[in-house]
């Protein structure tokens, strides 16, 4: 290599190519981090094709992996070209190494390794959840520390972010993730995928007070989440109708969305109460695909206003999976001298499960041969 990683970290500007393939979106982005920690997104390419999975009612891992194989090279090429740079102008490559659908993660990580070997670039294997956790720092002023509400298709967690790589989990879902509940509700109502945007669109014309859906974990201390009972209540409401009209579907969607947002806000409020002493910073960052939902943002905004906290959220396009957040996480790590030696980076294997922060002692949820749940 022409320079050491430490030399790179001392550069005023760092330019990183980010690759994201953890689920069905094939994404690549080029991001510049300046010496003051500011960010400029030079390009952001995302290939999403819901038609590949529509007939199955959800993402099929094998189809997603094949799609990444077919599209990733083109997506990376487009991202580099759109940035106005060449590979020679890129300092490092960051790629999602997990958690996610392991076939897709393997495609992205292997491609990143090949680029780094061929062009003598540092490789940063990024935790997908860390990409979401740091995304608000990419698009706005989100200084450490802050409370993070991470809500996506596979994850619903409350994490105290004390600094880069310094994370403490305060709560997680004990069953379904919020995004999974949205997707399954949309499928149940015949709205198609992706579930989150379809539910939100249907709810616009619905009555959120028609159905009094349950308030999960009301008697449970702490700030864990549960969406399985809410999902069951929605199914029972839908099946109780002989014929579902558009108004019925809109009312169920609106009532479900309200109940989900209320649950997220209530458990987040619990986390605000138990946040560490440095929580006097009083910043709430909400990230992940479900964070793009307007009703959820509105309820969290009201919560923060009432509690005297500041709500920080990335633009909706950077809440869903994207390469920019992976590139940014890589740039942050590179600037902090946290890039591993090439031999170590190349030895890293893709992970289906990779917790961002360990659970509180005695509160582990799930496990098995693939490791603890994320």
pLDDT in tens, 155-166: 999 999 999 999
Do residues 18 and 95 lie in contact, with contact meaning Cβ atoms separated by under 8 Å?
A: yes
CA separation for the pair 127, 133 (Å, rounded) = 10
Is pLDDT above 50 for 370? no
Do residues 142 and 283 lie in contact, with contact meaning Cβ atoms separated by under 8 Å?
A: yes
Cβ within 8 Å of residue 45, ≥6 positions away: 27, 28, 29, 75, 78, 79, 82, 323
For the stretch 258-307, pLDDT in tens is: 999 999 999 999 999 998 877 678 999 999 999 999 999 999 999 999 99
What value does the mean pLDDT of the chain take? 90
Q: pTM of the prediction? A: 0.91
- Give the pLDDT score at 359: 72
- Per-residue pLDDT band for 373 (boundaries 50, 70, 90) equals low
First to last CA, the chain: 35
CA separation for the pair 321, 100 (Å, rounded) = 11
CA separation for the pair 47, 68 (Å, rounded) = 9
Residue-level length of the chain: 374
CA separation for the pair 158, 66 (Å, rounded) = 33
Do residues 130 and 273 lie in contact, with contact meaning Cβ atoms separated by under 8 Å?
A: no
Q: Among 271, 248, 285, 28, which Cα is nearest to 132's?
A: 285
Could you tell me where the beta strands, DSSP code E, fall in 141-209?
Answer: 146-151, 156-163, 166-172
For residues 82 and 239, which has the higher predicted lDDT (pLDDT)?
82
- Give the pLDDT score at 3: 43
Question: Which of 75-84, 177-186, 365-374 comes out lowest in average pLDDT?
Answer: 365-374
CA separation for the pair 295, 303 (Å, rounded) = 12
For the stretch 100-126, pLDDT in tens is: 999 999 999 999 999 999 999 999 999
**Residue 307 parent element (H or E):** helix 294-307
Is pLDDT above 50 for 2? no
For the stretch 57-79, pLDDT in tens is: 667 888 889 999 999 999 999 99
- Give the pLDDT score at 52: 72
Cβ within 8 Å of residue 158, ≥6 positions away: 147, 148, 149, 150, 169, 170, 171, 172, 223, 267, 268, 271
Q: How many CA atoms lie within 13 A of 41 on its CB side?
A: 22
Is pLDDT above 60 for 229? yes
Domains of the chain: 5-134+321-347 (3.30.420.40), 144-318 (3.30.420.40)
Q: Among 112, 76, 63, which Cα is nearest to 92's?
A: 112
């Amino acid at each position: 290599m022409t320079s050491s990683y430490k030399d790179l970290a001392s550069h005023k500007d760092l330019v990183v190519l980010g690759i994201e393939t953890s689920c069905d979106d094939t994404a690549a982005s080029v991001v510049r981090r300046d010496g003051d920690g500011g960010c400029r997104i030079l390009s952001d390419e995302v290939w999403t094709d819901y038609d590949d999975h529509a007939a199955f009612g959800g993402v099929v891992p094998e189809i997603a992996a094949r799609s990444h194989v077919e599209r990733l090279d083109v997506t990376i090429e487009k991202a580099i070209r759109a940035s106005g740079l060449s590979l020679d102008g890129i300092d490092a490559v960051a790629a999602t190494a997990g958690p996610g659908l392991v076939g897709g993660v393997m495609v992205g990580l292997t491609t990143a390794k090949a680029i780094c070997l061929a062009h003598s670039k540092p490789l940063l294997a990024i935790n997908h959840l860390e990409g979401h956790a740091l995304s608000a720092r990419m698009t706005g002023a989100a200084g450490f520390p802050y409370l993070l509400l991470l809500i996506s298709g596979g994850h619903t967690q409350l994490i105290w972010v004390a600094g880069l790589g310094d994370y403490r989990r305060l709560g997680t879902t004990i069953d379904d993730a919020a995004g999974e509940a949205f997707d399954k509700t949309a499928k149940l109502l015949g709205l198609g995928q992706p579930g989150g945007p379809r539910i939100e669109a249907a709810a616009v014309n619905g009555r959120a007070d028609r159905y009094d859906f349950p308030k999960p974990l009301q008697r449970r201390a702490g700030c864990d989440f549960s969406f399985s009972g809410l999902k069951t209540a929605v199914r029972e409401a839908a099946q109780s109708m002989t014929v579902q009209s558009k108004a019925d579907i809109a009312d169920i969607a609106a009532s479900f969305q309200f109940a989900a947002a209320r649950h997220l806000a209530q458990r987040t409020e619990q986390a605000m109460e138990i946040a560490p002493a440095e929580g006097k910073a009083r910043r709430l960052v909400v990230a992940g695909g479900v964070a793009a939902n307007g009703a959820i943002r509105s309820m969290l905004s009201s919560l923060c206003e009432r509690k005297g906290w500041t709500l920080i959220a990335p633009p909706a396009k950077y809440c869903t999976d994207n390469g920019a957040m992976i590139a940014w996480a890589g740039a942050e790590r590179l600037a902090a001298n946290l890039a591993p030696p090439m031999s170590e980076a190349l030895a890293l294997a893709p992970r289906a499960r990779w917790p961002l922060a360990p659970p509180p002692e005695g509160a582990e949820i799930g496990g098995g041969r693939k490791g603890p749940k994320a």
